[in-house]
């Protein structure tokens, strides 16, 4: 089952340096597609501070591709075994 969407919700608010109030979002679950083509949601956490009047509004964000500029950390085989002590 591949991830179709990330479920994100506002979990808190903060004031930035210019004095503007902004929301801080956190991934709270995922939506996957089943073998039959149905969508299924898995909630991994419920942010209680994000509840407003007993409800929680969430966003469904498409998975983003990882930037190509970042490289994976070197494997253990690539580390030089010649230790100078």
Which of 26 and 67 is assigned the larger pLDDT? 26
The answer to whether position 81 is within a domain reads no
Q: How far apart are CA 29 and CA 4, in angstroms?
A: 11
Structural domains counted in the chain: 1
What confidence tier does 15 reach under pLDDT thresholds 50, 70, 90?
Answer: very high
Looking at residue 52, what DSSP letter applies?
B
The answer to whether position 83 is within a domain reads no
Q: Which pLDDT value is given to residue 69? A: 55
Report whether pLDDT(17) > 90.
yes
What confidence tier does 10 reach under pLDDT thresholds 50, 70, 90?
Answer: confident
Question: What residue numbers bound the domain in which 59 lies?
Answer: 3-63
Query: What are the pLDDT digits (tens) for 45-83?
Result: 888 776 777 788 899 999 887 666 555 565 666 666 666
Looking at residue 37, what DSSP letter applies?
S
């Amino acid at each position: 089952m591949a991830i179709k969407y990330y479920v994100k919700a506002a979990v808190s608010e903060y004031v930035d340096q210019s004095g503007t109030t902004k929301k801080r979002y956190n991934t709270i679950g995922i939506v996957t597609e089943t073998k039959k083509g149905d969508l299924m949601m898995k909630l991994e956490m419920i942010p209680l501070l994000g509840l407003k009047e007993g409800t929680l509004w969430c966003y469904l964000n498409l998975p983003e591709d990882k930037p190509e500029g970042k490289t994976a950390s070197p494997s253990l085989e690539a580390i030089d075994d010649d230790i100078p002590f």
